[in-house]
Amino acid sequence: YKVIPGRTVTKGCLTNQVVMRALSRVQSQAKYCYEKELARNPNLPSDAQDAHFGASAQFRRFWGGLGFLVFSLAAATDWLDGVLARRFNAESRFGRLLDPIADKLIVGLPLVAVTIASGYALPVLVPVAIILGRDVIVTLLRFAGLGAERMAVQFLSKVKTFILMIVVACLFLSMALLE
């Protein structure tokens, strides 16, 4: 049932005019109550704003801390997986293929989540798009060569992944610690 101004629609015993008068009365009562409360407490808008900022800061601290813990655990287990595979000579072609993809997911998904949480703000969106775009291009180029020998990870790639993981962990930590 839609109320269309200027058009009389009858549904049951309610006409458009009756509904519009009722809405107008409720709106004027809400405005009266707000003005009365505002006269009694002139800091009402800033108090509401302070409550909003306090709640959003608690939200950010909680999820930033949880994100830091989960991300740090994922990064540590990824590192441990590589160390154990090399130490026990358990490297495989499948592992060489899958490990870089897992690294890209471990770094990329939190970056996408932060971008979405920021409302796609350009200062966040542009660097994330560059990082993810580069990772997609490199992965596609690696798959084009698909030989296990060509899939071997170089030291510079490990350094880049390590730095990205530190940066993402610091991002989550800053969310948890900063006001």
* pLDDT at residue number 93: 79
Per DSSP, 174 falls in state: H
pLDDT score, position 165: 93
Q: Are 111 and 131 in contact (CB under 8 A)?
A: yes
Residues 6+ apart with CB under 8 A from 133: none
- Give the pLDDT score at 66: 92
**Percent helix, strand and coil across the chain, each to the nearest 5:** 80, 0, 20
75 vs 96: CA distance, rounded Å: 17
Q: What is the DSSP string of 6-49?
A: T---EETTEEHHHHHHHHHHHHHHHHHHHHHHHHH-TTHHHHHH
C-alpha span between 98 and 79 (Å, rounded): 14
In the prediction, which pLDDT does 43 show?
A: 67
**Each residue's pLDDT expressed in tens, for the chain with a length of 179 residues:** 555 565 555 555 556 666 677 777 777 777 767 667 666 766 656 666 666 666 677 888 888 899 999 999 999 999 999 889 889 998 887 887 788 888 899 999 999 988 888 888 898 899 999 999 998 888 888 777 765 455 566 788 889 889 999 999 998 898 888 86
